[in-house]
Amino acid sequence: MSVEPLSHKEIEDRLAELPGWSLDGDRIARSYRLRSHFAATAMVVHIAQVQEELDHHSDLTLGYNSVSLTINTHSVGGAVTELDFDLARRVEELAAVHGAH
């Protein structure tokens, strides 16, 4: 499957469907708050599992009770692609299960 960079308009349209996500330079980004460090750690593990499944990995940061991600596609020069939004949608599903906001 060929992966192509999205235009700025395509990125903005997709971000409108993902509240809390934003464009941060050449990446899409989101941070979550959780009830505890353990809950945040569990969410990171689940995100890592999804990333392995999709073979698409983000920069993932674990804080005391927070998780932050920045996502772009390295194989197309660090641009934002549909793969990034596939991962972001999966992360949103996990966030709801973990009680993240």
Alpha-carbon distance 73 to 49, whole Å?
A: 18
Give the pLDDT of residue 62: 98
Task: Give the per-residue pLDDT at 60.
Answer: 98
What average pLDDT does the segment 74-82 reach?
96
What is the pLDDT of the chain when averaged over all its residues?
97
* pLDDT confidence tier of residue 1, bands split at 50, 70 and 90: low
Report the 3 state secondary structure along the chain. CCCCCCCHHHHHHHHCCCCCCEEECCEEEEEEECCCHHHHHHHHHHHHHHHHHHCCCCEEEECCCEEEEEECEHHHCCECCHHHHHHHHHHHHHHHHHCCC
pLDDT tens track for 20-68: 999 999 999 999 999 999 999 999 999 999 999 999 999 999 999 999 9
